[in-house]
């Protein structure tokens, strides 16, 4: 799969293979955002292009999601170029600034006046032209800060104080993102941080203990969801929809409170059915795609509105791809991600220093976590959370951050050992 | 993997990370393979159930035509104003948004169920405004029933909703010319069954009822069914599968709100076949009119048959009813009328009832006697009835059987034309019951003719030879000789008997359906039912038949014949009258069944006409004039056929 570079040759400056895969993902992203959003439009791109005078054509084009996505690819690509050129060691000097800036935006977004609410979650800061999503940038800033923090001499990591500091570094954005609430984005920080610490050389016992504690907490949380009354004093204050999503994931129904009226029970049943709706429709989309799929723009799940329009082009873009391109398309998507991830790991292995290695590992883990959670929720392997599929899902913040992350990987690759 | 090779052996943590990533992606791929390849069928089926609605589309029903091609039952489109709700979906959304905005402005926060209630009310408001605007100029105001609309929206959203059924021509014009007819409002057509001649031949045609269920062997599951008809009785029921054709299916693609998006024909319909009867509409109408001559509620039947081919030219039963009412839906009052116990309009009296044949049975007794060696010129003296002056009688043992004919000397001819009970009882007793039963068996009395399905035809009653060995007396034979006692027949059976006498002894299968014609353009040949199929042979000497025929001619032509009222100038009618007594449990005469069986012309019999009237005064007085009317119509038909010879396309 990987093209090894013969040792006696001057290695390429850029990781072209990775860039090719990224390009593939971007082409797919533009094509399927087009497919997911344009089915509801009466006229397609080419017809508009041929029939409208140029100014009007641009007037039509500008608000189209696929076009905006392409614009974000271009902007993100430019940002990636900038970030790939400046040596990452100089970049990391700004790590703590970036980290605290992101913490600031995460706090800001929680303030009702600043943060915009959509679907009951306060995740965006409306900049007029751009719905800025601080949690996306917080992920990147966290990787920078964590890499900066953990790249200290391995011996220091043995001290519990340092470990607790690292935990604090993780916990701050985690809690703030949880508060929005955005469970998925918060959760991807955990594997990213843990893997970075692990690769940095944190003693196993700390990490095992951490893993044990997280596992225990998770179990307690689930037990609470399944068995405790939602209004009990000891119950965890999750958002109702988060609670229900988790119930749906584990195939459970919300238990009606004791002595509930039949109408109430019926209402809960309906609620459960509605909660399942997205997952069920995503499963139907993916499954009915079959081996070869129905063809680009031929999927019915999205066209007929079964797959909710609000999510088809972002969180559930994979359903659209899987329905229209089938298992073959899914394999291609997973393969493209595999190329990006494994070239990223290779970059980590070839990194000039611990900082570069940790940065690469952080980016790879973050991307992998998002890919795994997002694709997994389309086939009900993971609960539904608002985690975008990097580079494929529609969304400015996500695309920008994913490309910046790729830029970082390229940066480390360019400044790798032996070059 | 190459990546592994490139990772330093001393970097186990990266190797572990790579393994983890590889494992995670593999798990995803396995999951995807499971969902997209192994379980693809399952999800395809789920997709189909949620987004496809199958609709049963009935085939156009075949017509029923008379022998000349005049339709007796056909399809007539009816026009309905229908709403295609999917077209209103954006309007619903707009109106709903306005209302929600108004609520927000007023500071109202709606709960989930309040919102859906508001949405429902909004939809109704939008649609009823449109309906009111379009139907505003109709004479009677049209209001959309909110409950009906809600039900349709919830259960039949993929189908159009009928707002105004059965539009008049003026209304159609109003709708079509409406200046801004909304896209979702249209005039729909539906096929209805119509019987253009109303009650004419109703018993034989039968009628249909609304029935959308699947026929046997047809796809049974549909989300929706379009209106279809099923034959309940008569030809409509007997040939229902052929007339109905094969229903097709279409699938309607619906979106997540249930609105129709597109349609797709799954199985095309196979139209029903047209059915051509042997019935001649003019004769059928003449027969029905003739029956009405006796009174508006005449309970009777007429059979007109071709004695050579077995074709039934008319099969009338009275009283009649209008089959169109069944298509529209029967009202309670109409049903009461149809269920009248005395009139019993639903009974097909030509086939469905047992009647004592009375004196018309004497033709068969006479034939049996002639075959057994009765000399037709031999004189039999009938004794006078001591009680009733001028009437004859006969004693069987100590029982006296009265006669309506006068006492005196009778030969065969005089006996038949005056319908002498004494003569035929005497002749029958000399012949023996076995001979009569043998002849009756060859006529297949006591058996169905198979014209219509089992429930719609009675076999009648006729003793089997074995019956003679279990306490059969001369009294029973005497009763049988005058068509009473253990013998019951239908008018159609009597027509077959008369036809056998007229055509030289051939017992024919009667024929009602000439052919089934597939729709033009299908290239399939029509299914024909052969004419003149012989069921049996009387096996009697031609001379015997000739003697009977001559006597029947005398019955009509002689001035003292009982059937003289059936005389038609220029058409030599041969007939036999009958007046059967109906006894109650105490052997008291309560009623009469009157008969006239006949054929014409004498020289070359072309028609058999059998008339039966319940509660008539006498065969000669009640039925013979009815037969005369029918012969006049037949004569007229022949004249007009000669005047403008038809291209003889049909027969």
User: What's the mean pLDDT in B304-314?
Assistant: 95
Interface contact A345-B257, CB threshold 8 A = no
Write down the pLDDT at residue B648. Answer: 47
For every residue of B571-607, DSSP letters joined together read B--EEEEEEEEEE-TTS-EEEEEEEEEEEE-SSS--E
Residue-level length of chain A: 419
Q: What is the number of CB-based contacts under 8 A between chain A and chain B?
A: 136
User: What's the mean pLDDT in B625-639?
Assistant: 94
Domain assignment present for residue A198? The answer is: yes
Write down the pLDDT at residue B533. Answer: 92
Interface contact B40-A305, CB threshold 8 A = no
Q: Which of B18, B32, B35 lies at the smallest CB-CB distance from A342?
A: B18
Residues near A262 by beta carbon (within 8 Å), at least 6 away in sequence: none
Q: Between residues A258 and B337, which one has the greater pLDDT?
A: B337
CATH code given to domain B60-217+225-277: 3.90.1310.10
- From chain A, pick out residues whose CB is under 8 angstroms from the CB of B44: 287-288, 290
Gap from A326 CA to chain B (nearest CA, Å): 7
Question: Which pair of structure tokens corresponds to residue B339?
Answer: 């269920």
CATH architecture classification, B281-323+348-517+526-643:
3-Layer(aba) Sandwich (3.40)
- From chain A, pick out residues whose CB is under 8 angstroms from the CB of B34: 379
Interface contact A289-B40, CB threshold 8 A = yes
The total number of structural domains in chain A stands at 1
Gap from B107 CA to chain A (nearest CA, Å): 19
Compare all CA atoms of chain A with the CA of B13 and give the residue at the minimum distance: A199
Q: Which of B14, B22, B50 lies at the smallest CB-CB distance from A199?
A: B14
Domain assignment present for residue A56? The answer is: no
| Tens of pLDDT, residues B547-571 | 999 999 999 999 999 999 999 998 9
In degrees, rounded to 5, the angle at the alpha carbon of residue B128 between the alpha carbons of residues B126 and B133 is 100
- From chain A, pick out residues whose CB is under 8 angstroms from the CB of B255: 304-306
CA atoms of B40 and B45, how far apart (whole Å): 9
| DSSP state letter for B644 | S
CA atoms of B377 and B374, how far apart (whole Å): 9
Give the residue extent of every domain in chain B: 60-217+225-277, 281-323+348-517+526-643
A285: containing domain: 16-42+64-414
E strand intervals along B16-141 = 52-57, 64-65, 71-83
Most B CBs within 10 A among A278, A324, A342, hence the mutation to make, goes to: A342
Chain B contact for A195, CB < 8 A? Answer: yes
Q: What is the full per-residue pLDDT of chain A (419 aa) written as tens digits?
A: 444 444 445 555 888 899 999 999 999 999 999 988 887 677 778 888 888 888 888 888 888 889 999 999 999 999 999 988 888 888 888 899 999 999 999 998 888 777 777 666 677 777 767 778 888 899 999 999 999 999 888 888 888 888 889 999 999 999 898 888 788 888 899 999 999 999 988 888 888 888 888 888 888 877 777 776 656 666 566 666 677 777 777 766 666 666 666 666 666 666 666 667 788 888 888 888 888 888 888 888 887 778 887 778 888 899 999 999 999 999 999 999 999 999 999 999 888 888 999 999 999 999 999 999 999 988 888 888 888 999 999 988 899 999 999 999 999 998 887 65
Chain A contact for B101, CB < 8 A? Answer: no
Greatest mean pLDDT among A191-205, B70-84, B176-190, B495-509 lies in B495-509
Gap from A335 CA to chain B (nearest CA, Å): 9
First to last CA, chain B: 89
8 Å CB contact between A112 and A123: no
Q: Which of A2, A284, A381 lies at the smallest CB-CB distance from B46?
A: A284
pLDDT(B9) > 80: no
Write down the pLDDT at residue A331. Answer: 95
> Other CB atoms closer than 10 Å to residue A62's CB: what's the count?
10
| Tens of pLDDT, residues B129-167 | 888 887 777 777 777 888 888 888 888 887 788 888 778
Gap from B255 CA to chain A (nearest CA, Å): 4
Q: Which of A2, A330, A345 lies at the smallest CB-CB distance from B14?
A: A345
Percent of chain B with pLDDT over 70: 97
Residues near B324 by beta carbon (within 8 Å), at least 6 away in sequence: B194, B195, B198
CA atoms of B438 and B459, how far apart (whole Å): 17
Chain B contact for A283, CB < 8 A? Answer: yes
**Closest by Cα among A303, A217, A230, A237 to A271:** A230
CA atoms of A309 and A324, how far apart (whole Å): 16
Q: Which of B22, B24, B36 lies at the smallest CB-CB distance from A290?
A: B36
Domain assignment present for residue A49? The answer is: no
Chain B contact for A228, CB < 8 A? Answer: no
Residue-level length of chain B: 651
Question: Which pair of structure tokens corresponds to residue B132?
Answer: 């009111």
CA atoms of B193 and B474, how far apart (whole Å): 55
Most A CBs within 10 A among B28, B49, B254, B262, hence the mutation to make, goes to: B28
Q: Which of A201, A286, A346 lies at the smallest CB-CB distance from B35?
A: A286
Chain A contact for B30, CB < 8 A? Answer: no
Interface contact B36-A322, CB threshold 8 A = yes
CA atoms of A404 and A411, how far apart (whole Å): 10
Interface contact B51-A306, CB threshold 8 A = yes
Domain assignment present for residue A140? The answer is: yes
| Tens of pLDDT, residues B393-421 | 999 888 888 888 999 999 999 999 999 99
pLDDT band of B628, cuts 50, 70, 90: very high
Element containing residue B187 per DSSP (H, E): strand B185-194
Q: Which of A1, A287, A342 lies at the smallest CB-CB distance from B39?
A: A287
- From chain B, pick out residues whose CB is under 8 angstroms from the CB of A284: 43, 46-47, 50
Q: Which of A304, A361, A368 lies at the smallest CB-CB distance from B255?
A: A304
Element containing residue B583 per DSSP (H, E): strand B574-583
| Tens of pLDDT, residues A208-261 | 888 888 888 888 877 777 776 656 666 566 666 677 777 777 766 666 666 666
- From chain B, pick out residues whose CB is under 8 angstroms from the CB of A337: 25
| Tens of pLDDT, residues B352-383 | 999 999 999 999 999 999 999 999 999 999 99
pLDDT band of B390, cuts 50, 70, 90: confident
Radius of gyration of chain B (CA): 37
């Amino acid at each position: 799969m990987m093209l090894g570079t013969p040792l006696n040759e001057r290695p390429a400056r850029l990781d072209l293979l990775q860039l090719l895969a990224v390009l593939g993902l971007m082409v797919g992203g533009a094509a399927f955002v087009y497919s997911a959003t344009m089915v509801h439009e009466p006229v397609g791109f080419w017809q508009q292009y041929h029939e409208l005078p140029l100014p009007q054509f641009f007037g039509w084009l500008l608000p189209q999601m696929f076009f905006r996505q392409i614009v974000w690819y271009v902007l993100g690509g430019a940002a990636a170029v900038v970030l790939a050129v400046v040596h990452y060691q100089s970049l990391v000097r700004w790590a703590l600034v970036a980290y605290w800036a992101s913490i600031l935006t995460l706090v800001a977004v929680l303030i009702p006046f600043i943060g915009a609410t959509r679907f009951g979650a306060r995740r965006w800061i409306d900049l007029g032209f751009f719905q800025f999503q601080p949690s996306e940038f917080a992920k990147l800033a966290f990787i920078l800060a964590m890499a900066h923090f953990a790249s200290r001499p391995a011996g220091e990591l043995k001290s519990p104080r340092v470990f607790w500091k690292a935990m604090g570094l993780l916990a701050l954005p985690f809690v703030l993102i949880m508060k929005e609430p955005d469970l998925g984005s918060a959760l991807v920080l955990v594997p990213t941080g843990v893997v970075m610490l692990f690769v940095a050389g944190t003693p196993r016992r700390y990490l095992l203990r951490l893993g044990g504690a997280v596992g225990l907490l998770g179990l307690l949380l689930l037990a609470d969801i399944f068995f405790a009354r939602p209004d009990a004093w000891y119950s965890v204050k999750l958002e109702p929809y988060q609670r229900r999503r988790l119930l749906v994931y584990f195939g459970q129904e919300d238990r009606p409170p004791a002595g509930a009226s039949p109408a109430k029970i019926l209402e809960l049943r309906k609620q459960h059915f509605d909660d399942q709706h997205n997952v069920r429709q995503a499963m139907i989309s993916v499954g009915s795609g079959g081996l070869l799929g129905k063809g680009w723009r031929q999927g019915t799940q999205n066209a007929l509105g079964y797959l909710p329009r609000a999510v088809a082009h972002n969180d559930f873009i994979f359903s659209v791809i899987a329905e229209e391109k089938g298992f073959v398309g899914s394999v291609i998507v997973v393969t493209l991600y595999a190329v990006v991830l494994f070239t990223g790991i290779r970059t980590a292995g070839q990194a000039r220093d611990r900082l570069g290695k940790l940065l690469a590992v952080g980016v790879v883990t973050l991307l992998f976590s998002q890919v795994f959670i997002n694709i997994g929720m389309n086939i009900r392997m993971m609960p539904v959370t608002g985690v975008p599929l990097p580079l494929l899902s529609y969304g400015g913040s996500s695309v920008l951050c994913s490309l910046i992350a790729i830029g970082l990987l390229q940066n480390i690759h360019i400044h790798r050992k032996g070059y | 993997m190459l990546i592994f090779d490139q990772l330093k052996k001393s970097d186990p943590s990266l190797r572990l990370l790579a393994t983890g990533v590889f494992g995670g992606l593999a798990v995803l791929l396995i999951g995807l393979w499971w969902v997209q390849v192994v379980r693809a069928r399952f999800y395809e089926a789920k997709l189909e159930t949620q987004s496809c609605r199958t609709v049963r589309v009935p085939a156009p029903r075949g017509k029923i035509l008379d022998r000349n091609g005049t339709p007796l039952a056909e399809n007539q489109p009816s026009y309905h104003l229908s709403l295609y709700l999917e077209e209103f979906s954006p309007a619903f959304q707009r109106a709903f948004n306005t209302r929600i905005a108004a609520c927000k402005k007023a500071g109202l926060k709606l709960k989930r169920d309040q919102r859906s209630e508001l949405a429902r009310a909004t939809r109704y408001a939008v649609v009823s405004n449109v309906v009111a605007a379009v139907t505003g100029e109709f004479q009677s105001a049209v209001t959309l029933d909110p409950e009906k609309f809600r039900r349709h929206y919830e259960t039949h959203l993929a189908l159009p909703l009928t707002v105004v059924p059965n539009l008049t021509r003026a209304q159609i014009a109003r709708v079509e010319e409406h200046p801004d007819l909304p896209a979702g409002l249209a005039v729909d057509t539906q096929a209805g069954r119509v019987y253009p001649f109303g009650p004419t031949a109703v018993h034989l045609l039968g009628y249909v009822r609304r029935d959308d269920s699947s026929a046997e062997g047809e796809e049974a599951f549909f989300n929706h069914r379009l209106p279809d008809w099923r034959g309940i009785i008569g030809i409509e029921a007997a040939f229902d599968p052929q007339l109905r054709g094969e229903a097709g299916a279409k699938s309607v693609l619906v979106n997540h709100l249930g609105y129709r998006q597109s349609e797709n024909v799954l199985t095309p319909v196979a139209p029903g076949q047209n059915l051509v009867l042997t019935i001649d509409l003019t004769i059928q109408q003449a027969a029905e009119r003739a029956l009405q001559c006796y009174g508006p509620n005449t309970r009777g039947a007429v059979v007109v048959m071709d004695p050579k081919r077995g074709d039934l030219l008319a099969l009338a039963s009275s009283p009649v009813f209008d089959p169109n009412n069944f298509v529209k839906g029967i009202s309670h009052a109409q049903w009461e009328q149809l269920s009248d116990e005395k009139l019993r309009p639903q009974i097909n009296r030509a086939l469905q009832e047992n009647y004592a044949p009375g004196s018309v049975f004497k033709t068969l007794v006479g034939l049996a006697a002639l075959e057994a060696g009765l000399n037709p010129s031999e004189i039999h003296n009938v004794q006078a009835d001591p009680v009733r002056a001028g009437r004859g009688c006969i004693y069987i043992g100590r029982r006296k059987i009265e006669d309506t004919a006068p006492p005196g000397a009778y030969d065969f001819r005089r006996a038949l034309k005056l319908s002498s009970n004494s003569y035929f009882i005497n002749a029958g007793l000399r012949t023996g019951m076995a001979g009569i039963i043998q002849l009756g068996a060859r006529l297949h009395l006591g058996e169905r003719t198979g014209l219509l399905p089992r429930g719609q035809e009675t076999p009648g009653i006729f003793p089997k030879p074995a019956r003679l060995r279990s306490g059969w007396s001369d009294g029973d034979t005497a009763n049988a000789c005058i068509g009473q006692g253990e013998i019951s027949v239908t008018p159609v059976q009597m027509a077959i008997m008369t036809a056998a006498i007229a055509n030289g002894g051939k017992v024919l299968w009667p024929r009602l359906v000439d052919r089934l014609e597939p729709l033009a353009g299908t290239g399939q040949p029509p299914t024909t039912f052969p004419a003149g199929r012989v069921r049996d042979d009387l096996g009697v000497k031609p001379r015997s038949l000739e003697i009977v025929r001559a006597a029947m001619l005398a019955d009509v032509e002689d001035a003292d014949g009982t059937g003289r009222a059936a005389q038609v100038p220029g058409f030599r009618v041969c007939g036999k009258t009958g007046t059967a007594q109906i006894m109650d449990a105490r052997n008291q005469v309560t009623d009469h069944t009157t008969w006239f069986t006949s054929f014409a012309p004498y020289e070359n019999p072309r028609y058999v006409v059998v008339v039966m009237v319940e509660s008539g005064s006498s065969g000669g007085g009640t039925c013979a004039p009815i037969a005369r009317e029918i012969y006049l119509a037949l004569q007229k038909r022949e004249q007009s056929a000669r005047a403008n010879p038809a291209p003889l396309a049909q027969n």
